[in-house]
Amino acid sequence: MNQARLSGTKLLAFLLVLSFPNISLAWHDETHLAIAKAAGYQKWYNAAGADMAKLKAGDKENRNHYANNPPDTVVTPKMVLDQVNRYNDPTDENGHLYGAIVASLRDYRSAKASGKYAEYHLAYCAHYVGDLSMPLHNTLYDSFNQQHHPEMDGIVEDEVLNHLERIKIYPIQIKSEDDLVREIERIANLSMKLGYQLEAENRMLSKEEAYVQLGHSASLLKAVLDYTLR
Ligand SMILES: [Zn+2]
């Protein structure tokens, strides 16, 4: 390939990235499935579905997968709850991942209560709980984020389903939506802090750090699943 064609290809790739900001950026599929499996989610095989929905729904779905927090943000319960009614809002460019977790679980509970098939709502929730621990889904989509996002998404992808034992579950109790909101707040803050730490140190997430993060998501998902059985 000559130089002109090579740079043309690079330019095309760059333009594609520009026209689909954040699209296809998430823990990769098997990483989402691994979180769901580790949490004991019966329908773990649906946990990557929310990323498939982005392909056709565009920003209506895309904005549910991240929250652009400037440095020094402290995520609060109020911030989480304020995002709930922005669920599926394509115009909310800053994203509303935290609200999406709460909203999808509300949708699950109300669909179930009215006798409808509710499982897909829970599958969305399981996915968003997975995205919550991805550090770069909690920080601004700045040049560091753009540069490191694809590699970080796939950091354990090729091995994670064979190493579920590395995803450590710790006890979380959810007895109410308030409990859920507090846990979202807690994990959002530590994921965001890690994201900006990586940026300050200008380095990639290590595999060890990735498994710790996946443990936060899997532990929260397990608690959510237990809550749905109450
Ligand atoms: Zn996602």
Average pLDDT over the chain reads 92
Q: What percent of the chain has pLDDT over 90?
A: 88
The answer to whether the CB of 38 falls within 8 A of the CB of 167 is yes
Q: What's the mean pLDDT in 30-38?
A: 97
Task: Report the candidate in 26, 24, 10, 5 with the shortest Cα–Cα distance to residue 134.
Answer: 26
In a domain, 9, yes or no: no
Q: How far apart are CA 22 and CA 14, in angstroms?
A: 13
Task: Report the candidate in 147, 54, 169, 161 with the shortest Cα–Cα distance to residue 100.
Answer: 54
Give yes or no for residue 17 having a pLDDT over 80. Answer: no
Give yes or no for residue 229 having a pLDDT over 80. Answer: yes
Give yes or no for residue 45 having a pLDDT over 70. Answer: yes
Whole-number Å distance, alpha carbon 137 to ligand 1 midpoint, is 9
Give yes or no for residue 4 having a pLDDT over 90. Answer: no
Domain CATH number, residue 215: 1.10.575.10
Whole-number Å distance, alpha carbon 212 to ligand 1 midpoint, is 18
pLDDT of residue 1: 41
Whole-number Å distance, alpha carbon 213 to ligand 1 midpoint, is 15
pLDDT of residue 26: 83
pLDDT of residue 18: 47
Whole-number Å distance, alpha carbon 185 to ligand 1 midpoint, is 18
In a domain, 12, yes or no: no
| pLDDT tens sequence across 189-228 | 999 999 999 999 999 999 999 999 999 999 999 999 999 9
| pLDDT tens sequence across 91-149 | 999 999 999 999 999 999 999 999 999 999 999 999 999 999 999 999 999 999 999 99
CB-proximal residues (5 Å) to ion ligand 1: 26, 65, 131
Would you tell me the crossing angle of helices 143-153 and 177-200 to the nearest 10 degrees?
110
Whole-number Å distance, alpha carbon 63 to ligand 1 midpoint, is 9
| pLDDT tens sequence across 133-172 | 999 999 999 999 999 999 999 999 999 999 999 999 999 9
In a domain, 1, yes or no: no
In a domain, 78, yes or no: yes
Whole-number Å distance, alpha carbon 46 to ligand 1 midpoint, is 12
Q: How far apart are CA 137 and CA 151, in angstroms?
A: 13
46: DSSP letter = G
Query: In the chain, what's the furthest Cα-to-Cα distance?
Result: 63
Structural domains of the chain, count = 1
Token pair 């990586």 is at which residue? 198
Q: How many residues does the chain have?
A: 230
Q: What's the mean pLDDT in 2-10?
A: 48
> Sign of the C-alpha dihedral, residues 91, 15, 70, 74?
positive
Angle at 164 between CA 162 and CA 169, to 5 degrees: 175
Q: Determine the residue type at 168.
A: K
In a domain, 4, yes or no: no
In a domain, 180, yes or no: yes
Q: How far apart are CA 136 and CA 143, in angstroms?
A: 11
| pLDDT tens sequence across 63-79 | 999 999 999 999 999 99
In a domain, 166, yes or no: yes
Q: Is 219 exposed, middle or buried (0-12, 13-18, 19+ CB in 10 A)?
A: buried
Would you tell me the crossing angle of helices 97-113 and 207-228 to the nearest 10 degrees?
30
Q: Which domain holds residue 117?
A: 21-228
Confidence of residue 11 (pLDDT cuts 50, 70, 90): low
In a domain, 14, yes or no: no
